[in-house]
Chains A and B, each alone.
Chain A
Amino acid sequence: MRESMEFDVVIVGAGPAGLATACRLMQLAQDNDQELSVCVVEKGSEVGAHILSGAVIESRALDELFPDWKAMGAPLHTAVTKDEVYLLTSATAGKCLPNALVPKTMHNQGNYIVSLGNLCRWLAEQAEGLGVEVFPGFAAAEILYHEDGSVKGIATGDMGIGVDGEQTANYMEGMELHAKYTVFAEGCRGHLGKQLIAEFGLDTEADAQHYAIGFKELWQVPEEKHQPGLVVHGTGWPLQGGTSGGFFLYHLDNNEVVVGLIVDLNYSNPWLSPFDEFQRLKHHPVLAQHLEGGSRISYGARAITKGGFNTLPKMSFPGGLLVGCNAGTLNFSKIKGTHTAMKSGMVAAETLFDALSNSEGARAELTEYANRFADSWVYDELFRARNFGPALHKFGPILGGAFNFIDQNLFAGKLPITLHDRSADHTHLVPADQAMQIKYPKPDGKLSFDKLSSVFISNTNHEENQPCHLRLKDPELPIRDNLPTYAEPAQRYCPAGVYEVVEEGGQARFQINAQNCIHCKTCDIKDPAQNITWVVPEGGGGPNYPNM
């Protein structure tokens, strides 16, 4: 028997959604003079270690959660001062779009450029101050169920299992954390969330979820190039041939600039390497002018749940809730998910608190959550943005963009049509011999870099002696099927060089360098055969992003 601990609420994941849930729960408990035990488990070595986001955020949810966040020292230091939107037409050319032609949702006046990792660190401090137990370094590895099928809690992963599956001298069995309600806030493509969606059929009435992979680098630039508050977005080159996505470049404080590229994971060309697209993008004059003479401080990548309203699964099930990007509350028309994730967590907290105060059986499904969610501004916002992504997928960036301009600026998202995109991202790859090979330029070591030196500055580490956390349902499939048909795309879509096909004595072998994994989940999403399952490694493993 594993040891167990009891809580009123266990929250999986110390991101904006999970921490907002925790903070709001404790605020309600204090307001109502009630005792509540709430714990948050986080697989990163510390809160913020695995958080990666642009990030320009709307403070709306934070304003509601901590109205005097400014006085409390929340790390929102850089207000947006200027918005620029570009359409890059070639490797050297691009047009700055006039403001009037930009969809309103892309305007950022009143928003803040932040490090979401640092915002989460701050939220965790608030949560602990309110009495929440926050446990970084502990990965929720397994969902626990009651006999009636309702969720009972989670179990943290065993520590000290060797690569051979045997216990090492330091073996420590995982712990069961039982709760009246368990909130899953793992972020995009959470591995437990994925199981819950399947187990409870939460997505049966939703369109297939859509994803993108987002890259981000943090740069230190020369003083004279620094324009605090500047926000630059754009699309176009180098993505081509039906591949959609867009870039961002923000000037924070302390001479820091973040730059990133988001590539939609419904791309069709198996030769595409999102990483190399990002590296060559930085050589475009529109971006290079900000970065030249600077130095890169950090690198990371993370998948993004971007399907929006039409793809949102049911968020409640017996014994628990799914919140934030684990469900898919990001508003892609704004490319923002922090305020919606936080709000989804706060609504969850209010629902949970009422249910806990009411002595009825804890295992009941909190169907009330859907009603409260539907009454909140998140729902309204996501509803208005429901056509944004499907329009881009259906009509491409130019016509889709025009549709979005009309829908968002003229009708405020209330155009009485709903567009759907029902095909899952992994079904879009075409065979390699029918696709154009892409020759990427060599990195110059100044603006562009190779994968391994990038992973190096993500501070990624995993205990060496542990079983591989990237599971293949069929170990032969990569070489037998994916290699001949798709030239094994994992080699290219993985942003961390985890997957390699190596030649040994004339034989191809599929090599998994799990230690490099930066926990982006792209492999779990994009493998054409859905053969790769991402599970949590030993707690504390993965990247250690500072200021990301």
Chain B
Amino acid sequence: MSTLIIADHDNQALNPATLSVITAAKALGQSITVLVAGSGCGAVAEAAAQAEGIEKVLLADSPAYDKALAENLAELVISLSSGYSHILTAASTTGKDFMPRVAAQLDVGQISEIIAVESADTFKRPIYAGNAIATVQSLDAIKVITVRGSAFDRSAATGGSAGIESVTATAANDRSAFVKEELVVSERPDLTSAQIVVSGGRGLGSAENFDLLARVADKLGAAIGASRAAVDAGYVSNDLQVGQTGKIVAPDLYIAVGISGAIQHLAGMKESKVIVAINKDEEAPIFQIADYGLVGDLFEILPELESKL
């Protein structure tokens, strides 16, 4: 049996989350086929073919798949599904949208947002917003799975040379239609989706001092966050608050500056991949969960950081 991965992309480039899905798929120990469905997405198929460890790339190039409408994608995947024991895609808003339709049409369950592959039929996935981890065994012949990209390393983007095979497109449905899209163009990334977040606490001492933080964030292309104490003190507005009652973030890198690390704050950022703590109090609880801790005066550290980035 083999594994089918549905690539996540924007018709121009492969979403790197797909490389994480490949890593998850490799753990199943079967040959891997990648389906690239889109419109004018030949370059994506080329990229997928170069990814290491791929047996074959299927290319479905049709206007029907241009905007990744769930109805059309699901129909296509169903038409190609025979012979695959596992169907995987990234848990992006596209993957989450069409994949349950695939499962329902195949009359199988879906296992959502896996974070570990235990065996060919057993997976770990977070439940209760990550406050518990379930180990789930699928009893279905076909396993339909979405993969949380941040939980798996990216497989190598090059080193492979899979053949590309065009497949027949299925008909576009006539009940849903794309109207428009507005991609957010912002100088600073959105707090909840940023790859890097630089967050400040009461230790910054004033609203003006948040500028020091902003300059570091600019250099890193990072979003700015804040602790509840900094919001309560009026340094920044409350839409920047990270924590139990604020936003929950899980970036690749979280830099906590002048934040003591109360559990209420940790609840909003502890799923970050790498946590850096900068604080003058070496006893601050934030150091207990930080991967890298730097004890010192943030008013010296921040300008130095800015100049060296």
Residues of A within 8 A of B (CB): 450, 452-453, 455-456, 461, 464, 502, 504-505, 511, 513, 515
Contacts and interface: CB of A to CB of B under 8 A. Distances in A.
B40 interface: no
B245 A504 contact: no
A504 B233 contact: yes
B128 to A, nearest CB: 13
Contacts of A461: 245
A515 B238 CA distance: 14
Contacts of B136: none
Interface string B261-286: 01110010000000000000000010
Chain A interface, >50% SS class: mixed
Nearest to A513: B232
B262 A452 contact: yes
Given A505-B205, A505-B206, A511 B232 contact: yes
Contacts of B233: 502, 504, 511
Name the residue among B206, B232, B238, B245 with the largest chain A CB count within 10 angstroms: B232
A477 B205 CA distance: 23
A461 B263 CA distance: 14
A453 B202 contact: no
B166 interface: no
Interface of B: 202, 205-206, 228, 232-233, 238, 244-245, 262-264, 267, 285
A504 B202 CA distance: 9
B267 to A, nearest CB: 8
22 contacts: A450-B285, A452-B262, A452-B263, A452-B264, A453-B263, A455-B264, A456-B244, A456-B263, A456-B264, A456-B267, A464-B238, A464-B245, A502-B202, A502-B233, A504-B205, A504-B233, A505-B206, A511-B232, A511-B233, A513-B232, A515-B228, A515-B245
A502 to B, nearest CB: 7
A177 to B, nearest CB: 30
Contacts of A511: 232-233
Contacts of B206: 504-505
A511 B233 CA distance: 8
B5 to A, nearest CB: 40
A464 B264 CA distance: 14
Given A456-B267, A502-B233, 9 more contacts: A452-B262, A452-B264, A461-B245, A464-B245, A504-B233, A505-B205, A511-B232, A511-B233, A515-B228
Contacts of A453: 262-263
Nearest to B202: A502
A120 B245 CA distance: 28
A453 B245 CA distance: 14
B118 to A, nearest CB: 26
Contacts of A515: 228, 245
Closest CB pairs A-B (n = 10) = A452-B262, A453-B263, A456-B263, A452-B263, A456-B264, A464-B245, A452-B264, A504-B205, A513-B232, A511-B232
Contacts of B238: 464
A31 B291 CA distance: 68
A93 to B, nearest CB: 31
A156 B194 CA distance: 42
A251 to B, nearest CB: 27
Contacts of B245: 461, 464, 515
Nearest to B265: A452
A502 B201 CA distance: 13
Nearest to B260: A452
